[in-house]
Amino acid sequence: MSQTEEKQTVKNAENQEPDSLIEEQNASELEPSIQEESIEEPNEFELLQQQLTEETNRHLRLRADYENFKRRTHLDREAADKYKAQSLLSNLLPVLDNFERAMQVESASEELKSLRKGLEMVFKTLLEATEKEGLQVIEAVGVSFDPNLHQAVMTETDDTTEVGTVLQELQKGYKYKDRVLRPSMVKVNE
């Protein structure tokens, strides 16, 4: 090798050293940033995981709320269908009372007797129609007083009957299916 060739190789070697040093420095600088990114990535992953969990829970809650809404709406519709005639029957109670009062009137006249007979037929038909819809008369006389079914407006002492027994019914009470439309007004033994 000639001197010029040797000088050239030495120069090449000197030139190569800084390049490799720069590469090593760059590699060492990149390693911490890669490590920092890998540290940040799990945090970002955990954040995304947490957001997914929150959204999943929110979705499940909304779905449960919707199902509850559907169930409540269905129950409300069933109750409305079940008790649809309640207001009509409540409005008919005074009519039934007036029919009963009219039939209690005694008369010797044949015309009034035939009129009474017609009233009884209409009353019977009306009572049958209301019973088909679910209207029931509340039993009162001779039964034990029940504050859910009876309204005590008077008391009386009678030694022949038990205490708390209904002695007299002053106004009939009615139930519609399982609801009390009007309690019976009664006199109770004390």
The whole model's pTM is what? Answer: 0.59
Q: What is the pLDDT of residue 2?
A: 57
State the burial class of residue 150 (Cβ atoms within 10 Å of its Cβ: 0-12, 13-18, 19+).
buried
pLDDT along the chain (190 residues), means of 10: 57 53 55 53 84 94 95 89 85 91 84 88 93 91 92 89 90 92 92
Q: How far is CA 66 from CA 53, 58, 86, in A?
A: 20, 12, 30
